[in-house]
């Protein structure tokens, strides 16, 4: 059979095909076929964007050096001082797209879109720290790429913002944004809102995600709730996990809901509830939701899969997709080591023997997250 001239497809068929192109790399490849294909799918179809928002955060406590004179000898009211003493302040922020992908069947990377069209920052998929070993110019279209998942990073010069998720998923027309802040607070922004609004609830949350087209959040007891964007309230969806762990992460895979529960060497306290100085992780347990019976089932083995618990994304990857990696049934997560170390701050937990340690103590495991050998730096 001779070669087909794909450039001769009818315009209406090209338009129909373009409706199913959602990923950035698929879009670039589609447009690279020929001039007609390029013009049939505008860049705005999956164009880079930065969503600008105003986020209201708790102020960091500041030492008070004022001399206090007991009443009734001194009493005054200063409205400006009262305004400054408000526990909240509003800061600008932006939310940018990220894509976790496997490049050349060997490197697991997160690509963060920039405001420059077609340009990306290559970052560690667990710590979100830029990987500096790559060359400044790297044409990703020269290598086979498998997209694993997509997510978002909240860019803000404030440590209190932990994570952001968006609805609808994988769409440029953003309607709602849910943000998880330090101390487990939830903030919601809806299209048309001037500022984010706090979800009114007495519970504090460990993680947020999108599940079956809805925002969900999990509290420290392991109860998953839907976030109602209309009433700004939460509605309980699952029973609590009640496993004894101290920090829960949500993982959504193939329409299934999982919870990774981590155990620490010391308890969380009210002064340090969500870990600016996290204690050391000593164990993990994994649970899967049985929706038919409304219960959590403990998963004792991941078989040939690896679970990655990142700063903003949690996901599974089969080891068959990563050449040279023969160590499955593990959890990769941000550990205790300094981010600038050779481990990039990543630790590994082996579910088989319950061993935990730096990624460097597991031979061959660090290759997928560091400078690969398949490119030549200029």
Q: What is the pLDDT of residues 13-43, one digit of tens each?
A: 887 887 777 666 677 677 777 777 777 776 6
Kindly state whether residue 256 falls inside one of the protein's structural domains. yes
357 and 214 in a common domain: yes
Shared-domain flag, residues 187 and 132: yes
pLDDT grade, residue 123 (50/70/90)?
confident
Residues 97 and 38 in one domain: no
Helix (H, G, I), strand (E, B) or coil at 231: coil
How many independent structural domains does the chain possess? 2
Residues 125 and 215 in one domain: yes
Q: Is residue 66 part of a domain?
A: no
Does residue 257 belong to any structural domain of this protein? yes
Domain assignment of residue 163, yes or no? yes
User: How many percent of the chain have pLDDT more than 90?
Assistant: 24
Residues 105 and 204 in one domain: yes
Indicate whether 178 and 282 sit together in one domain.
yes
Q: Is residue 366 part of a domain?
A: no
For residue 5, being part of any structural domain is answered with no
Helix (H, G, I), strand (E, B) or coil at 70: coil
Residue numbers of the domain that contains 206: 50-55+89-361
131 and 238 inside one domain:
yes
Query: What secondary structure does DSSP assign to 21-65, as a single string?
Result: --SHHHHHHHHTS-HHHHHHS-GGGG---EEEEEEEEEPPP----
Note the pLDDT tens digit of each residue in 296-306: 999 999 998 99
* Same-domain pairing of 23 and 94: no
Global pTM value: 0.78
Query: Under 8 Å CB-to-CB from 296, ≥6 apart: which residues?
Result: 222, 238, 239, 241, 259, 287, 288, 289, 290
d(CA 335, CA 344): 9
Average pLDDT over residues 174-185: 83
Do both 234 and 181 map to the same domain?
yes
H or E element that contains 39: helix 35-40
Same domain, 173 and 279: yes
């Amino acid at each position: 059979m001779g070669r087909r001239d794909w450039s001769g497809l009818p315009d209406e068929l090209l338009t129909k095909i373009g409706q199913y192109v959602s990923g950035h790399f698929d879009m670039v490849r589609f447009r690279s076929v020929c001039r007609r294909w390029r013009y049939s799918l505008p860049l705005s179809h999956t164009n880079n964007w930065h969503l600008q928002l105003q986020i209201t955060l708790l102020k960091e406590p500041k030492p008070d050096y004022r001399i206090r004179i007991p009443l009734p000898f001194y009493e005054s009211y200063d409205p400006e001082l009262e305004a400054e003493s408000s526990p909240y302040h509003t800061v600008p922020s932006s939310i940018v797209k990220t894509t976790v992908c496997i490049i050349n069947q060997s490197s697991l990377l997160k690509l963060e879109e920039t405001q420059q069209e077609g340009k990306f920052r290559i970052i560690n998929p667990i710590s979100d720290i830029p990987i500096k070993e790559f060359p400044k110019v790297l044409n990703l279209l020269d290598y086979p790429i498998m997209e694993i998942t997509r997510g978002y990073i909240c860019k803000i010069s404030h440590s209190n913002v932990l994570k952001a998720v968006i609805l609808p998923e994988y769409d440029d027309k953003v309607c709602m944004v849910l943000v998880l802040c330090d101390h487990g607070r939830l903030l919601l922004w809806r299209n048309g809102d001037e500022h984010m609004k706090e979800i009114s609830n007495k519970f504090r949350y460990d993680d947020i995600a999108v599940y079956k087209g809805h925002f969900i959040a999990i509290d420290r007891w392991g109860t998953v709730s839907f976030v109602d964007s209309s009433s700004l309230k939460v509605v309980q969806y699952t029973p609590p996990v009640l496993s004894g762990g101290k920090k829960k992460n949500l993982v959504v895979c193939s329409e299934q809901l999982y919870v990774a529960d981590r155990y620490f060497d010391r308890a969380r306290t009210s002064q340090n509830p969500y870990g600016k100085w996290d204690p050391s992780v000593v164990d993990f347990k994994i649970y899967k939701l049985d929706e038919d019976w409304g219960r959590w089932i403990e998963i004792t083995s991941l078989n040939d899969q690896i679970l990655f618990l990142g700063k903003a994304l949690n996901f599974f990857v089969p080891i068959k997709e990563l050449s040279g990696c023969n160590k499955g049934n593990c959890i990769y997560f941000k550990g205790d080591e300094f981010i600038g170390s050779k481990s990039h701050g990543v630790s590994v937990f082996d579910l088989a023997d319950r061993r935990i340690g730096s990624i460097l103590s597991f031979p061959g495991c660090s290759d997928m997250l560091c400078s690969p050998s398949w490119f030549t730096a200029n």
